Chains A and B, each alone.
Chain A
């Protein structure tokens, strides 16, 4: 380890406990980092595309997750390496921002790192590589905009949206019924979307799953499902035209926040207190009844006595409903969440056309459906499937599809999938590279090569000859000047993604390229890794 000396030749202690740290510097550090990044990308590479494989992940507690969603795989992996963690972050930010393409972004970054390693070996300075990549990404970004197409849809013509969602779903295990799932996702998004402002809040779509049944039974419900049952077994199971009081206060005697004691020292006090208590319950139920509520949904529990009183007054109630669900119910039914019984007024009640309890399977599983709500701006996608892992994976896939649909509503530009956008960018970047004088030219060319790796991985996963297929498609693109040519993963017989209806969103692709370049630049700029050594 390098040491600094002062004028008397004594060493400066720069880093605390310097001896117990390991340190990698210069080219070694870069190479180690690149290797780590590549290792992560290699894991995800086989998950890319419609023929991509899944990963089975066992958590520290022994739970099994099976998925091919890049973000999920990386999140669940017990990664220790710092650079690998950067890649995990990369995939996560793509997930937050776009929701889809989490695998692709990591594969892209891995390819950029691989190319960078070659350049480093030639002795090109990492900063020059980073700059070259930056230029390359800018060219690709602009080129994408150039080849992007607007596509038109509206509330009645949703077919294009469904097509795009299907592209997303086709790489997941649910591709057996991608058509119906895509339709569900699109309808859900359109139900909550604000087409005027071109925006929507995904929180309004609740994705609920229950094991059992089959994937085809998955349905979209214009309303809310709550995994609860009526608080008293004899309450009615179906309520028409419900007026719902949404409460966040328990049906229990009040508990003042300030510390206090009520001392009972005489018989009279004992009796008044008792009467007081009974009056509390009576009042609470009476207040709900007075405002005309026909269903009470409460965030907290009920006392036995209150429960019976509710039942007795024919006021069905649901208890222990979670905060998020409560909010959704409030949005859907147009009601207000009421924190005090005193503040209940008829205007604050929510309205729903039908509330019913439904039982599943042979066990004691019941759920409450709240449908035909006053405001249908909150919907639920209810997933059924053979086992727990299937449901979880379907949830993730639906989430991806929802994100894609949302992105399209925000910005209706698309590019064609199947690696065609990457190939087209690669051609454009390659052509532009020659115009740049200086060392960056090499980096830009490397960037073009890295772009090829996504279609390459696609071809590899689909069991095609990667190099042969890629070069054929590339030459076809140039010859026909058609940026829609991609890898024919499903063996349909045509390379034209326009005919195969394989779309991806423009912002998704642009984001992938930008994010991947940024992370790679960051990794390249690290020339010193100091870490506590193993003990």
Chain B
């Protein structure tokens, strides 16, 4: 059993999945880079979790600078591509259109397929029934976890809006009650001042 085919297999298809959630301040742009080998199928998925109108600009470029994907003010999207050449691929999230809201952005960048469980995965014998059942369960569970993540992000979005609403209701209610009192008292005072200042004219008009 020679090791070199396995070594080649490991080096050939660099398999990675990077999932990060970061905060993007207003007027900021954040770029991420990854070195990808030609022929690798990659998927970029992003979702805006909190902030403003829940939108962000996204841009994906290949090593030559050719724009593979460019969308403005998107809330959620998924983009799959195959690396056409070796090199550093770059993707950027921009919040430059926003003046004062910072956004929390989640992204999942999958490069290639998942690493095999065993180093000697590309073997001659086929998988037994039990093993292929395990593989299909694993794939199904992976998609369950993926759905859970998306659900969690949507729920986080809803929750942040609800908490925001809660504090705003309290703030504005107190504010409005205060304004109400101030306006009614000042109305009365103002009206009184109309009749109090011009004492001579009042008596003349009165009689």
Bound together: no
Interface residues of B (CB under 8 A from A): none
Interface residues of A (CB under 8 A from B): none
